[in-house]
A and B are shown apart, each in its own frame.
Chain A
Amino acid sequence: MNVATDDAVRLDSVTEITWTQLVGACAMPEVELRELVAYGALVPRDPDAPTWTFEARALVVARTASKLRHDFELDAHGVSVVLSYVERIEQLQSEIRRLRAQMG
């Protein structure tokens, strides 16, 4: 049976998604996602715009938040705190990879 080939989309800082798409793609209620925006864990491209848009990588952050909320039974504030540590770990891992790549 012929199966069509689909395109995988990068979740990076170039591709853009809307607030509606972000809400639809997460298991978190919209009101909790709004709290993550209020706490700075999710950052719209223009916070003052009437309709928010985000870098597509916000979807990775939102899904990580959903998982942390479920796994650790946290509220939105707790999730945003843990997310900041997860982000710091990722920055440090990226720096280590860069240094290892240079050292050979």
Chain B
Amino acid sequence: MMKYKDYYEILGVARDADADAIKTAYRRLARKYHPDVSKEKNAEAKFKEMAEAYETLKDPEKRAAYDQLGRHAPGEDFRPPPDWGQHFAQGQGGFDDIDFADLFAGLAGRQGRASGPRADRAMAGSDYEAVVRLSFDQAFHGTEIDFTLSALEWSPDGSMRRVPHRVKTRIPRGVTDGEKLRVPGKGGKGINGGPDGDLYLDIEVTAHPLYRVSGRDLYVDLPLAPWEAVLGTSVNLPTPGGSVALRVPAGTRAGQQLRLAGRGMARGGGTPGNLLAIARIEVPTTLDDRQRALYRELSEISNFNPRAQLDEETAR
């Protein structure tokens, strides 16, 4: 069952607002909530809602069709009046498997193309978009995804219907969070010989507890004991492609980056990014008497001054 949406309330205008008032209200809200520039919470969902409202109310025919539905409480379970479909909906299809916004999607408007497929005109199929959520490992190694999305399509009887559309796609290795992929020809079917639309995938990658991604490079913290940083050592470092023995040179400083070339995210047709291990000097917090005595002896005989620059500044 579809839920009623009060488009006038969503745009913050009166039900008898004129076209200019509706346009101004939309533009004010678009500036605030457009997902490409807004930092507002739930901007994308809010923009989708107000854009849907504007798409209907800006067009006189769609607005008239919407007003004929009558006024209802937002969110109320809703079904168009029995004769509404004959006047405004294309074809004789029911309303059981479409959303509220889909009621108006097929209507002609002065600004829109003619509604429905025409036997004398080829039309390209719609492009579909879907969000694909991957784990870090799936993104790093590549994977296959298999899911079904609900797509809005023209039926042979001229009505619009939501139909299941199965997607089975190979995701290449090395995709990153926010990346977009295209599956050519896997969108909506073309009509009257028009080309099929494409499927666009928005990739979201879950953060890994160890590896941090920046472009093609990966960063990982490398905790070291003070003596390891001073004297150098060899450590077993986990990488997404398996553990490697990493040589830590003597005199490694805190924050120093040790580069493992080619161990980052794959790059299509090019060399992969790098894995950078960032040295973090950890100090023991509990010492026995001998350990404390050794540290004290070291502090007395060492000339090392880590605050030389600060002392110079203080002396000025």
Q: Which residues of A contact B (CB under 8 A)?
A: 3-12, 14-15, 24-25, 56, 59-60, 63-64, 67-68, 71-73, 85-86, 89, 94, 97-98, 100-102, 104
Of chain B, the residue at the smallest CB distance from A96 is B214
Tell me which residues across on chain A come within 8 A of B213, comparing CB atoms: 97, 101
* A to B CB contacts below 8 Å, 15 in the list: A5-B144, A6-B186, A8-B201, A10-B172, A14-B267, A56-B182, A64-B36, A71-B30, A71-B34, A71-B51, A86-B37, A97-B213, A98-B215, A101-B218, A102-B276
> Scoring B residues 253 to 279 as 1 if CB is less than 8 Å from chain A, else 0, what string do you get?
000010000000001111000001010
Task: Number of B interface residues at 8 Å Cβ cutoff, please give it.
Answer: 45
Majority SS at the chain A contact face: helix
> B184 within 8 Å of A by Cβ?
yes
Q: Are A6 and B269 in contact (CB under 8 A)?
A: no
A102 in contact with B184 given A7-B170, A97-B214 (CB within 8 Å): no
Query: Which of chain B's residues have a CB closer than 8 A to the CB of A98?
Result: 214-215
Q: A8-B169, A101-B219 are in contact. Are A86 and B36 (CB under 8 A)?
A: yes
- Not counting A6-B183, A8-B181, A68-B36, a sample of 12 additional A-B residue pairs whose C-beta atoms are within 8 angstroms of each other reads A8-B182, A15-B269, A25-B182, A25-B198, A63-B200, A71-B34, A72-B30, A73-B27, A86-B37, A101-B219, A102-B257, A104-B221
Partner of A14, one of B198, B268, B276: B268
Q: Which chain B residues have a beta carbon within 8 Å of chain A's beta carbons?
A: 27, 30, 34, 36-37, 47, 51, 124, 127, 144, 146, 166, 168-172, 175, 179-184, 186, 195, 198, 200-201, 212-215, 217-219, 221, 257, 267-270, 276, 278, 280
Decide if B184 touches A85 in the complex (CB within 8 Å). Answer: no
